[in-house]
Amino acid sequence: MSLRVIIFGTLAFIAIQIIRLVDRLFIKPRLSNLRVLPGPKSKSLLYGNFKEVKHSKPGELHAKWIEEYGPTMSYTGVFNSGRLYTHDTRALSFVLSHPDIFRKPDQFQFVLARVLGKGLIFADGDPHRKQRRLLNPAFSNLHIRQMTPIFFSKAFELRDAWIALASEKESPFDTTACEIDAMSWLSRVTLDIIGLAGFDHAFKATNPQGPADDFQKAFETAFNGAMKFSLMSLLTARFSILRKLPSKRERDIQEAQTTMRRLGKKLIADKKKTILESLSDKDEKITKTTVEGKDILSLLIRANMSSEVPESARLSDEDILAQIPTFILAGHETTAAALAWCLYAMTRHTDIQCKLRDEVGSVDTDGPTMDVLNSLPYLDAVVRETLRFFPIVPMVMRIASEDVNVPFKTPVTDKRGRSLSEIRIRKGEGVDIPIIALNRSKDIWGDDADQYRPERWENVPEIAHEVPGVWSDLMTFLGGPRSCIGYKFSIIEMKVLIFTLIRAFSFEPPEKDVEILPKTTFITKPVVVGEEEKGSQLPLKIRLLPTA
């Protein structure tokens, strides 16, 4: 290949990228129908309003915009892209029920790919449907009921570790209390639970003296690297050629992915071997009930190998491999953060804490069944209120893969005074799913929607039933065909840990007066003001109860 050809090819590539960038930054925005909707002005050609949103508290800026521009508006995303923001339940239901049209953004898929390599649980189209069909039995009530003893075993381990900490306190005046970073501990115990329940792997993270697990270290390296947002990370997500540029961040992520692949392949091979060895006859066919393995990965592999599943409906080994870090990503820090916010609420509302303790204390066993847990109304209300008031993901976005009309339940008045019953979204434009805003909407939940009050679940407003969420009239687990498949798992895991910890301890603010604020990267976690560089923390005091 001559030098002239190389130069020409390079210049042609650069010219094409410039044309695409000009089209994205200048031409498409001028043709957008979203321009007629009220909304804030863009602050930057590259970032739009993104930096404003990123540096505000979850839902705070959007709430301000809603007051100024109304419940349906538009604003500008990165690279001058149009964004529809609405509280209209019909519009949101339409978007969530058409996942083949409204897909996850490229930047989101890219970040997850850096963690997972290939994460089918976040895929679109037919691969997602195949994966969902095979995984559904693993997240059924029947299977979660069988998983509940695993949840309790780790809850007891956490309780006993905290009892040991409280008992070791040397102060003669307060021998049953100590301060802990609850976020760190809850992150460890939820990792242990998803390790055992997800793929029968013992991380042993709750043991403070135990060494860090290789898979755990690799996952944290990939996740933390992928979560470092910057202009370069946005450009890397948009232009794949930039990923080839050498950097320590890229090298660390790639090494972590290699480690996860190696360990994951061994897990899968071992489970396949167990399934084949469990057959009493070498000619016996594999069915969905062939082996005893109850972890989610075993159920997935068993279903995938079953003679009852046609070849066209099966997943490849690569697709199954991606589920291991997916289980950790979807079921580890999310539940840990939700539990941390629950304990934070308990320290601020001692009356709620006492009422909850009275209820769980009335149960005559430390390890009740899932059905007994679900029969405790105030525990249920506390979990629902925690997930309403502190949704772990405050907002998600969907990108239109084609031009489409989005209908409104309530007509919208545009800048020209016209009443619109629908808006045409062009290919590449986004729609925000305002999780925290709907969960805290006063139009839905009443004037006290901005207060943490579990008693509201005794009488749910009729209008709340219009919210297109898969669970409890909330958007926390989204809705439609791509709603969170593991929400039942997460809810029971939360109930088990709250039940166990509230029976053993009282929770109080720490001695030092600190301010806790929510900070969102992928999920919303508590941070200490002035100590943001230390990452997520939730310092609080635990006091051992006499009955523990």
Range of the domain at 484: 117-395+469-544
What number is the average pLDDT over the span 102-108?
Answer: 75
pLDDT-derived band of residue 4, with 50, 70 and 90 as boundaries?
confident
Residue 339 pLDDT greater than 70, yes or no: yes
Q: Quote the number of domains for the chain.
A: 1
| 500 domain residue, yes or no | yes
Residue 515: predicted pLDDT: 94
pLDDT at 290: 44
Q: Which residue has the higher pLDDT, 109 or 506?
A: 506
Q: Which pLDDT band, with edges at 50, 70 and 90, does 116 fall under? A: low
Query: Binning pLDDT at 50, 70 and 90, where does residue 317 land?
Result: confident
Asked whether residue 416 is assigned to any structural domain, the reply reads: no
Mean pLDDT computed over every residue of the chain: 85
Give the contacts of 69 (CB within 8 A, at least 6 positions apart).
38, 39, 40
Tell me if residue 485 falls in helix, strand or coil: coil
Higher pLDDT, 244 or 450: 450
Q: What is the pLDDT of residues 18-65, one digit of tens each?
A: 777 666 666 777 778 999 999 999 888 778 888 888 888 888 898 899
Residue 181 lies in a domain: yes
Is position 354 annotated in a ligand binding site? no
pLDDT value of residue 243? 59
Q: Is 178 a member of any domain?
A: yes
**Percent of all residues in the chain with a pLDDT value above 70, rounded to a whole number:** 86
8, pLDDT greater than 90:
no
Q: What local confidence, expressed as pLDDT, does residue 288 receive?
A: 47
Helices (H) and strands (E) in the chain, counts: 21, 12
Indicate whether 4 belongs to any domain: no
For residue 515, being part of any structural domain is answered with yes
What's CA 359's distance to the chain center, in Å?
29
Query: Does some domain include residue 291?
Result: yes
Q: What DSSP assignment string belongs to 336-390?
A: HHHHHHHHHHHHH-HHHHHHHHHHHHTSS-SS--HHHHHT-HHHHHHHHHHHHHS
pLDDT in tens, 132-183: 888 888 899 999 999 999 999 999 999 999 999 888 764 444 557 899 999 9
Quote the pLDDT of residue 124.
Answer: 54
pLDDT at 240 (0 to 100): 58
| Per-residue model confidence (pLDDT) at position 79 | 81
Is pLDDT at 70 greater than 80 in this prediction? Answer: yes
Q: Which of 188-202, 292-306, 325-339, 521-535 has the lowest mean pLDDT?
A: 292-306
Long-range Cβ pairs for the range 238-247 (8 Å, 24+)? 238/79, 238/106, 238/107, 239/17
Domain of 263: which CATH number?
A: 1.10.630.10
Which residues neighbour 366 within 8 Å (Cβ) at sequence distance 6 or greater? Answer: 152, 156, 500, 503
Quick: pLDDT tens for 346-398.
Answer: 999 999 999 999 999 999 999 999 999 999 999 999 999 999 999 999 999 99
Most confident region among 111-115, 164-168, 224-228, 359-363 by mean pLDDT: 359-363
Q: Which of 383, 310, 394 is nearest to 346 (CA)?
A: 383
DSSP 1: -
Of the listed ranges 273-282, 325-334, 486-495, the one predicted with least confidence = 273-282
Residue 232 has pLDDT above 80, yes or no: no
- For the chain, the first-to-last Cα distance in angstroms comes to 77
In a domain, 45, yes or no: no
**Percent with pLDDT over 90 in the chain:** 52
pLDDT at residue 280 above 80? no
pLDDT over threshold 70, residue 187: yes
Residue 291: per-residue pLDDT: 44
Confidence of residue 320 (pLDDT cuts 50, 70, 90): confident
Are the C-beta atoms of residues 94 and 87 closer than 8 Å to each other?
Answer: no
The confidence score (pLDDT) of residue 171 equals: 47
User: What's residue 292's pLDDT?
Assistant: 52
pTM attached to this predicted model:
0.88
Residue linked to tokens 């997935």: 300
> Residue 422: what pLDDT?
96
DSSP assignment of 524-545 equals EEEEETT-GGG-S--EEEEEE-
**Distance separating alpha carbons of residues 268 and 274, to the nearest angstrom:** 10
For the cut 50, the answer to whether the pLDDT of residue 122 exceeds it is no
Q: Which two tokens stand for residue 70?
A: 């109304």
